[in-house]
Amino acid sequence: MFGGEGVLKYQAIAQEINQYIKDKHLSQGDKLPSLKELVVLFEASRSTLVKALALLESHGKIYQVRGSGIYVRSDHKAGYINLLEAQGLKLDSQTFDDLSTVVSLEEVTPSPSVRAALKIPAGQKVYYVSRVRYIDGQAYCYEESYYNKAYVTYLNEQIVSESIFTYIEEGLQLKIGFADIVVKLDHLNQTQARHLKAEEGQACFLLESIHHLHNGAPFDYSLIRYRQEDVAFYLQTQF
């Protein structure tokens, strides 16, 4: 019943409810229709709605109170980077006009740390891409990425100047699975400072991530440095 296009029913419903919240400009504490009503509205089983709501809850969009109802949670702070969605969760693709300039695209012999992250045997090359990303004309992060050529078989300037992840999913037909992310404090070196139009030695966020395909194979290792003044991360958790 849901073969073909690949959009699952519970995901579609989650999307629609999310859109409903936005359209009606609901905010913190506002009540949604009851589960029973939603079942009728979306013509799905109770279980499917429960699943859709669980998805929204895990993304911090709503919270559910047993015996009471379903309520919307605080909306995202403008300008803050959502750590859980930063890398591509599809629920709330704000994609703020993300203009990026490619600094370099080349094939390089990876350092041991890159080899370890991507689980690549010695002697194999990887793609190295460095970019500066702009928001409102302001440089706000400097991104260096290494791609395993076994999976990301081809890249060019054109592809790399747009969304690499979209290309990987749609162009190369690969399924992205999950990511391990580390956030550290760092200081800008000369090159980084130049690209970000900041001062050398200035404190910055360093976000290190390893992205894996759905089958667990690591295909991307990235180091992203953010300008300190512009950036704050946020995330919403459940207990």
Partner DNA sequence: CAGTGGTCTAGACCACTGC
Partner DNA sequence: CAGTGGTCTAGACCACTGT
Give the residue from 229, 106, 62 showing the smallest Cα distance to 50: 62
Closest separation in Å from C-beta 167 to its own copies: 15
Contact 150, 172 (CB under 8 A): no
Query: Which helix H or strand E contains 166, and what residues bound it?
Result: helix 164-166
Give min distance, CB of 152 to DNA, in A: 17
Site string for DNA, 5-34 (x = CB under 7 A): -x-xxxx--------------------x-x
Nearer to DNA among residue 66 and residue 136 (C-beta): 66
Residue 91 carries which DSSP code?
G
Among 23, 25, 68, 156, binds its own copies (CB under 8 A): 68
Residue 205 in contact with its own copies, rule: CB under 8 A: yes
- Listed residue (95, 54, 89, 91) closest to 211, CA to CA: 89
Question: For residue 150, what are the CA distances in angstroms to 78, 103, 109, 125, 130?
Answer: 38, 23, 14, 10, 20
According to CB under 7 A, which residues from 65 to 84 bind DNA?
A: 65-70
Tell me if 173 contacts DNA by CB under 7 A. Answer: no
One residue of 17, 21, 53, 117 binding DNA per CB under 7 A = 53
Q: Which of 51, 73, 225, 227 binds DNA (CB under 7 A)?
A: 51
When computed from its CA atoms, the radius of gyration of the chain, rounded to whole angstroms, is 21
Give yes or no for a contact between 175 and 168, defined as CB atoms under 8 angstroms apart. Answer: no
Binding residues for its own copies, rule CB under 8 A, total 45
Residue 77 engages its own copies in binding (rule: CB under 8 A): yes
